[in-house]
Structure formats: C-alpha cells, structure tokens
Structure 1
C-alpha cells in the first residue's frame, strides 16, 4: 500500500493514504486523481471505491469525509511534490504497516480484510 507521512493536521505525524480536498464542481474520482498527481507526481487509474470514511472528531470540532479508492499507477514514480504537507512516502506490505496510521487508513485496512483483498 502506498502511504504518505503527513506534516499537517489533521493527523500530523501519521502515515495515511494520499488525497485531499475537493475543488468546486469536481467529482470524488477527479479530486482523488488530481490530488495524488499534485502530491506525488503520479497518474493513477481508479479501479473501485473501497469504502467511505466518515471521520468525526468532536473534541477538535472537525468532520472529514474520506472516500477510499483502490487504484493502479499508470505513469510516473512517486515523489514528494508538496513538502510543506508531506514528509515522506513509502510502499508497505499490508501485514507490516508503519505507525501511527490515520483513521481513514485504519478503516480502509479493515474494509480490505472484510473484502479479503
């Protein structure tokens, strides 16, 4: 699994799936492919929606909705393109994930286990 180490909140210092915010009138798929291209300089093809993480953090008064897609790299080699937001990246086997993980990543792993991926 391709993960990035976050520099910024939410979940600064956690390993998680790359991605980001929607631009106006952008679909989830468009935002996902754009954000990953911006962050890591790769072109991806989405294969399917794995799960949607509804992350509510009441103590911080935040609510994030994170769609998690399965994808393949079509072009490019991952590299940090937004060093202000990301500290590192890496490929990790599902049985040897780094810590700590973001909430969305933990839930995506649980969904993969449910689906036996």
Structure 2
C-alpha cells in the first residue's frame, strides 16, 4: 500500500550527479565545458550522471574521470568529499556527490573535444572566475571541510559563480558519533 497522500500523488525525483575532484597537491583539475551543453564556456570539475539504476555513484565517478580526462582511478583511491543538493536558476533540482582522488594512472587530457575545450590545474585556495556556480559551491563546501551543503539558486541567478551575498551556498554542520553513545536523559545521574 502506498504512503502517498492524495495531495501529493507523485514522489519527488531528481537526477544524481557525480563530480570528481582530482587533486595534485594544492591544485584541482578543471575543464571548460563546450558545445551544446549546460553552462558551455564555464569551468567545471569532471562530472556526469549515473548511467542507470545498476551503476553505483562510486562506479560513475571512476567512469566519468576516465571518459572526460583519460585517467584510470582505482575505486579504493576515491574518497567521499561532499554532497550538494542544488537547484538551478530554471528550478530543476539535483543531488551532486563530490569525490576526491589524489592518485590515478595516466596523464589528464581532453578526451571529448566536442564537450571540453580546455583543461588545467588551479589552486584550490584561489579558484578562477568563470566557474559553474553549482561546481564552485561544491568546492567551497569541500574547502570548508563540510560534508553536506545546499545550493538553491533563484530564478534569474547567473549560472556562473558570482562572489558575494547572492552565492546561495548553505553549509550544513555535521556531527561525529559519540562512543559510547550518551545514556538517555532519564537514566543520567547528576554528580
């Protein structure tokens, strides 16, 4: 039996993205989007979507890095970095999983010239202008050491990152488990 109410006949669904932060010391690899794609001309991390219901987000990250940069990453070398719940200026929502890799085989190069016109290393602490706002939000959350963020843009916001109060990034605090967990309040004794 479905738990959907008559007021909400459909469950919310949205695309799942993967973004790969290739690190070389204090630098990250960025690519310039090209062709008939969203945000053409702007810088972005190697990224893409899940290929289907049987592909894991880890498999997708390894695949996208290979397809877009030619590098081979051992899945054991991939680290979870941050998750960003994003809404574009046009109102479409998506969830992006950002992963970090510091070791791989091969030299990054443009493998899809119809989708990428440039590729280069940039200092993580001095990211360039002309970046996709969603990608920049993920990198800003990553630099801040946060594991989860929201980036809900408003209609009319630019696709490119704009510094200042309209950047729309909200960093969520995280917690660490306590070992052992605290006793329920009713069982605690006062000193």
Question: TM tier, shorter chain?
Answer: 0.7 to 0.9
Which of 40, 55, 65 is the matching residue for 1:36? Answer: 65
Structure richer in strand, relative to its length: 1
TM-score (ref. length: structure 1): 0.85
CA RMSD, Structure 1 to Structure 2 (Å): 1.9
Deviating above 3 A after TM superposition, structure 1's stretches of 4 or more consecutive aligned residues are: none
- Residue equivalent to 1:114: 144
Q: Once the 2 structures are TM-superposed, how far is the Cα of residue 38 of structure 1 from its aligned partner?
A: 0.8
**Contiguous gaps of at least 5 residues in structure 2:** 1-27, 147-191
- Residue equivalent to 2:55: 26
Greater Cα radius of gyration, structure 1 or 2: 2
The question of 1:3 aligning with 2:30 is answered yes
Q: Once the 2 structures are TM-superposed, how far is the Cα of residue 104 of structure 1 from its aligned partner?
A: 3.0
**Contiguous gaps of at least 5 residues in structure 1:** none
- Which structure's relative contact order is higher, taking Cα pairs within 8 Å and 6+ residues apart? 1
Deviations 1:6-30 (Å, cap 9, x if unpaired)?
Answer: 1143221111110111111100010
- Residue equivalent to 1:49: 80
- d(CA) in 1 for partners of 2:48 and 2:103? 18
TM-score (ref. length: structure 2): 0.55
